């Protein structure tokens, strides 16, 4: 069921390929000049809008921006069957639909749309901005920019026997899809030694620390085949807008090396910040304060809104 609106936000919906995606639209105080810039946000691998993202949205709206925070089809409060399916192309289409919705919403400046993504969505925003030159700025934190590199990390920790089980689960899921049956699901996050999309040393505890009660810890197993083929870093040279990359030095989910190399390829268009933390630490406590402050400063400069420049702490 959709979550209740708050004084800061209201529930909205838009269509993506005919499927209803649900979102929260955060709007700044009435005395903020309009039209205002808008930051479009979505979560990473299997994440939903209520998984530790509202604090970021609240920071951004307090600085005078609109925020559109949405769930992908098949996940969270959005429609789409089967449930818990992660398709890269479908999620990229959902990003495009969300941006289109924002651009046509009264009170939003259609030429000052920024994108914010974390983990898998950190890769999505790079691809979307490479294809849409109207995007004003993108921020990607703990971004998954090379699915093949992430797969190598997972396989290296899981070992050969578990890798064979992953492939078997993916094959079973694809076979079931071919004959019109429900997906074969595996956990999205699990402790090391268990079959899951993320089973590195800090994945289960880190994931559970940021998700809300009732979050579905499962995903269609075909992800084991599709994720290694997704390499957003290849789009880096086509991104023309200002880009903020926040990497986690001890990331066991997304390749830190891929983030550093992507930033180097982008040159002066990209700002790279390296934090001495793991993949999931960035959402909580002092690292949330650090990352959100850096992002506020970045978007303030990119949007060039008088009176809203915020210095990073």
237-251 pLDDT, tens digit per residue, is: 999 999 999 999 999
How do the domains of the chain map onto residue ranges?
A: 9-145+233-303
| Number of Cβ atoms within 10 Å of the Cβ of 202 | 19
For residue 276, is pLDDT > 50?
yes
Show the CA angle centred on residue 96, arms to residues 74 and 269, nearest 5°.
120
Structure tokens at 42: 């979505």
Interval 133-171: pLDDT, tens: 999 999 999 999 999 999 888 888 888 889 999 999 999
For residue 307, is pLDDT > 70?
no
pLDDT of residue 159: 84
**Nearest one of 74, 78, 69, 65 to 36, comparing CA atoms:** 65
Q: Are strands 9-16 and 19-26 parallel, antiparallel or unpaired?
A: antiparallel
Rounded to whole angstroms, the Cα distance separating 297 from 313 reads: 9
Calculate the dihedral angle through the C-alpha atoms of 296, 302, 304, 305, rounding to the nearest 10 degrees: -40
Spacing of C-alpha 286 from chain mean position = 20
CATH classification (class only), 9-145+233-303: alpha beta
What phi and psi values does residue 264 have, to the nearest 5 degrees? -65, -40
Higher pLDDT, 29 or 184: 184
């Amino acid at each position: 069921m959709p979550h209740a609106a708050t004084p800061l936000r209201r529930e909205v919906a838009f269509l993506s390929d005919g499927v209803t995606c649900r979102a929260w639209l955060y709007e700044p105080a009435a005395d903020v000049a309009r039209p205002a810039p808008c930051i479009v946000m979505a979560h990473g691998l299997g994440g939903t809008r209520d998984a530790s993202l509202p604090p970021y949205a609240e920071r951004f709206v307090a600085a005078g921006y609109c925020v559109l925070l949405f769930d992908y089809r098949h996940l969270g409060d959005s429609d789409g069957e089967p449930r818990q399916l992660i398709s890269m192309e479908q999620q990229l289409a959902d990003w495009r639909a969300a941006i289109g919705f924002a651009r046509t919403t009264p009170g939003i400046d259609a030429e000052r749309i920024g994108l914010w993504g974390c983990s898998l969505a950190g890769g999505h925003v790079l691809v979307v901005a490479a294809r849409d030159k109207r995007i004003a700025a993108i921020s990607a934190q703990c971004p998954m920019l090379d699915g093949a590199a992430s797969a190598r990390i997972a396989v290296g920790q899981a070992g050969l026997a578990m890798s064979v089980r992953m492939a078997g689960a993916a094959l079973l899921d694809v076979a079931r899809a071919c004959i019109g049956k429900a997906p074969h699901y595996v956990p999205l996050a699990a402790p090391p030694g268990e079959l899951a999309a993320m089973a590195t040393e800090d994945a289960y505890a880190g994931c559970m620390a940021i998700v809300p009660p009732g979050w579905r810890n499962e995903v269609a197993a075909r992800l084991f085949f599709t994720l290694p083929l997704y390499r957003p870093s290849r789009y880096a040279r086509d991104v023309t807008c200002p880009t903020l990359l926040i990497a986690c030095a001890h990331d066991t989910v997304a390749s830190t090396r891929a983030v550093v190399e992507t930033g180097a390829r982008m040159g002066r268009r990209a700002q790279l910040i390296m934090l001495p933390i793991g993949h999931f630490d960035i959402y909580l406590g002092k690292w949330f304060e650090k990352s959100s402050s850096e992002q506020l400063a970045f978007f303030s400069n990119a949007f060039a809104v008088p009176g809203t420049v915020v210095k990073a702490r």
